[in-house]
Structure 1
Amino acid sequence: MTLVTAGVVVLDCAEPEKLADFYKELLDAEETDANANRVEIRGTDGIRMAFRRDMSATPPSWPRPESSLQVHLDFHVDDLDAAELRIIGLGGRPIETKDPSGPFEERGYSDPAGHSFTLRHAATTAPKQD
Structure 2
Amino acid sequence: MPTVLAGVVVLDCAEPEKLAAFYKDLLGAEETDATANRVEIRSADGFRMAFRRDVNATPPSWPRPENSLQVHLDFLAQDLDEAERRVVSLGGRPLEAREAPGPFEERGYADPAGHSFTVRRTRATAPKQG
**Normalising to structure 1: TM-score of the pair?**
0.92
What one-letter code is carried by the residue in structure 1 that aligns with 2:77? Answer: V
CA distance in 2, matches of 1:97, 1:123: 19
What one-letter code is carried by the residue in structure 1 that aligns with 2:22? Answer: F
**Deviations for 1:43-97, whole angstroms, at most 9, x for unmatched residues?**
0111000000000000000111232310000000011000100000000000022
- In the alignment, structure 1 residue 13 sits paired with structure 2 residue 7: no
Q: Which runs of 5+ in 1 are unaligned?
A: none
Q: What's 1:95 paired with?
A: 95
**Deviations for 1:8-66, whole angstroms, at most 9, x for unmatched residues?**
00000000000000000000000000000000000011100000000000000011123
What one-letter code is carried by the residue in structure 1 that aligns with 2:111? Answer: D
Q: Helix, strand or coil: the match of 2:105? A: strand
Question: Shift in Å at residue 124 of structure 1?
Answer: 3.3
Same amino acid, percent of matched pairs: 74
CA distance in 1, matches of 2:124, 2:42: 29
CA contact (8 A) 1:27 1:43 kept: yes
Question: Shift in Å at residue 101 of structure 1?
Answer: 3.3
What one-letter code is carried by the residue in structure 1 that aligns with 2:66? Answer: E
Provide the aligned length of Structure 1 versus Structure 2.
Answer: 127
CA distance in 2, matches of 1:63, 1:80: 21
Match runs of 1:1-130 below 5 Å = 1-124=1-124, 126=126
CA distance in 2, matches of 1:23, 1:45: 14
Q: Which runs of 5+ in 2 are unaligned?
A: none
**Normalising to structure 2: TM-score of the pair?**
0.92
- List structure 1 runs of 4+ shifted beyond 4 angstroms: none
CA distance in 2, matches of 1:123, 1:37: 38
Supply the RMSD in Å over aligned alpha carbons. Answer: 1.4
CA distance in 2, matches of 1:33, 1:123: 33
